[in-house]
Amino acid sequence: MGVLIQIKQSKKVKCHGMFDEEGKIRLLLEYMDGGSLQGACISHEPSLASLARQILSGLSYLRRRIVHRDIK
């Protein structure tokens, strides 16, 4: 999780900190308008393609700087 704090990319949600609460790790993240990815119901193909491109762009950025062993 420390990596999340160190990453400097303009398009990612900023992580302001993390703490352990009753054995669970909590992240203090920047607020982003637009709702959650989980809550998004994307049935419009161009919107889905745009979202996929954004996710893949983020993974590409991380891959250049961090070794990933298990991305699902």
Domain that holds residue 16: 1-31
Look at residue 5 in the predicted model and tell me its pLDDT: 60
Q: What is the largest CA-CA distance in the chain?
A: 42
Both 72 and 44 in a single domain?
Answer: yes
- For residue 70, indicate whether it is catalytic: yes
pTM of the predicted model as reported, rounded to 2 decimal places? 0.49
Are residues 13 and 36 in contact, defined by beta-carbon separation less than 8 angstroms?
no
Asked whether residue 1 carries a pLDDT value surpassing 60, the answer given is no
Condensed to tens digits (0 to 9), the pLDDT of residues 24-55 reads 989 888 887 777 766 666 666 777 788 888 88
Which one of the listed residues 21, 70, 71, 72 is annotated catalytic? 70
User: In the block, which residue shows the tokens 């009753």?
Assistant: 22
Q: Where are the beta strands (DSSP E) in 2-72?
A: 15-21, 24-29
Count: domains in the chain: 2
Both 49 and 66 in a single domain?
Answer: yes
Q: Which residues pair with 29 in a beta bridge?
A: 15
**For residues 20 and 47, what is the distance between their CA atoms, to the nearest angstrom?**
36
Both 44 and 72 in a single domain?
Answer: yes
End-to-end CA distance of the chain: 17
